[in-house]
Every structure is written in C-alpha cells, then in structure tokens.
Amino acid sequence: MQLYIIRHCQSQNNELWKRTGSSNGRLADPPLTATGCQQAELLAQHLADPLKGQAGPRSIDNSILAYDITHLYCSLMRRSVETGLAIAEALALPLVVREDIHERGGIYLENPESQEREGLPGPDRDYFQTTYPSLVLPDTLGEVGWWNRPYEDREMALSRAAAFLRWFVAEHDGTEDRVAMITHAGFIQSLFQTLFQSPMVDKKLGATREIWFKANNGSISRIDFMEEVIRIAYQNRVDYLPAHLIT
C-alpha cells in the first residue's frame, strides 16, 4: 500500500506571507490564489499522466511510471478542497472528506487586542453542499460550523496525527491501495513526527529546534507501507512544476 501526501497548492495566506513576511491580514480559511489554481491544474495533470510532455520520467524514484491512485482524501479547508477537486476531476475519482487532516490550529483568527488565537465556527454542511456539490461529506458534518472549537495547539495536532495513522493503517494496510491525501504543511509535520518519532534537536546554546520536513505548495511525498518495513520513497517532490510556479 502506498500513501501519497500532497500539500495543497498556494493559498492567499501563503501568498501574503511570501509577499510581506507577516500574517497580518490572514484569512481564517483562505482559497487558492491564481498561482495556486495553476499549480493545481498542473498537479492534477501530472497525477493523471506523469510522463506527459516529458522525454522520460524525472522522478527521483525512476521506477515510477504511473501513480494509479485508488483513493483520494481532502480536509474541509478551502485550499485543500480546491486542490483536491482539480485532482478528482483529472483522475475521475470521488473526493472524500477526512475532517481529521486539517491544518494545525484549525479555523482561527488572532484577536488584535489580546493577541490570542481564537477558534471560529468554520463553514457548515449547507455551505459545502452548495459550493462544492461533488464532495463526499462525512455524516458528522451538520448545521453548525465544522470547527467550532478553540485553537488547536501542537500537542493536540500530534495526537490527531496519531489517531489518523491508526485509522489509516486499519483501513488500508495490507491492500494494494494507492491513497492520496491533500493536506497541510503543519499536519504533514505532525504525521512525519508521529510516524518516525522525530525528536527536538538541542542547539549548542541550550535552546531547542524542531525537525521540520519541508513541503512546498503542491508537493508530493510517498510512503510505502510494506510487509516488514515502512519506506519513504521520496519527500517534497515538485519537479513537475516549472520553476516560476514553485512556492
């Protein structure tokens, strides 16, 4: 069984940070930018036909000639949904929502007075059915916003990643499934940190720093769940994009 971990394409918040180096003015649930939409189209085309327009495969794993994805999951955040819908159309697959693969923190904005990050409700079932009618929504999504709780801290995100991995292995391990999930940079860190138990690293001056697994917008990472080992086939692959669209 193979797991393809895909980061959503460029969102308005990503573009804001790239342009200003600040989160001032961030949106709680941003859509894709025009650049993000271009990335999503190229990503979808690549997943459908990785050799199209190429003299030969450029993958760092040269055994890959096709993805042949069988299952496609996204979070309930707009940037994940919009990236996923482009892929779903190209692959003719249903796009199934997993509420538990959202970004660290959830839906929130920073209170300008207290500087505290405050959780917001997020969109409800009617919003998703109206705006994205082809999405396969969970039964748990109802008439109140899907988030509707406080800001999620790092430890809570790690616990969520562990719970997701338990579900994922129970659902897909030991099969020939080739699963793609469109998720977020922070949750990708939580997944890798949980799966590989990556520690905090001591600096010479006594501080600590987190091991961070780089994930560009639209990047693809592949983990193979084999009978005796779990193998990282590749991580943060964006070679299908032209240089000016790598963000």
Q: CB–CB of 222/67 below 8 Å? A: no
Tokens of 94: 């249903």
Residue 62 has a pLDDT of: 47
From 130, 80, 84, 135, select the one nearest 102 (Cα to Cα): 80
Give the residue among 89, 236, 219, 230 at the shortest CA–CA distance from 168. 230
- Radius of gyration of the chain measured on its C-alpha atoms: 18
- State which residues of the chain have pLDDT below 70: 53-65, 199-206
Separation between Cα atoms, residue 143 and residue 137, nearest integer Å: 13
Distance CA 54, CA 91 (A): 19
Q: Tell me the C-alpha distance between 168 and 34, whole Å.
A: 33
pLDDT of residue 216: 98
| Predicted pLDDT at 210 | 75
Residue 145 has which token pair?
């916003």
Residue 157 Cα distances to 10, 167, 223, angstroms? 22, 15, 20
Q: What pLDDT sits at residue 211?
A: 80
Show the domains of the chain with their CATH numbers.
2-104+124-138+152-245 (3.40.50.1240)
Is residue 144 classed exposed, middle or buried when 0-12, 13-18 and 19+ CB atoms within 10 A define those classes?
exposed
Q: State the burial class of residue 139 (Cβ atoms within 10 Å of its Cβ: 0-12, 13-18, 19+).
A: exposed
Q: pLDDT, tens digit, for every residue of 137-173?
A: 999 999 999 999 999 999 999 999 999 999 999 999 9
* The pLDDT value given to residue 6: 98
* E-only strand ranges, the chain: 2-7, 71-74, 96-97, 108-110, 117-119, 178-183, 200-202, 208-210, 220-225, 230-237
Q: How many CA atoms lie within 13 A of 202 on its CB side?
A: 3
Q: State residue 60's pLDDT score.
A: 46
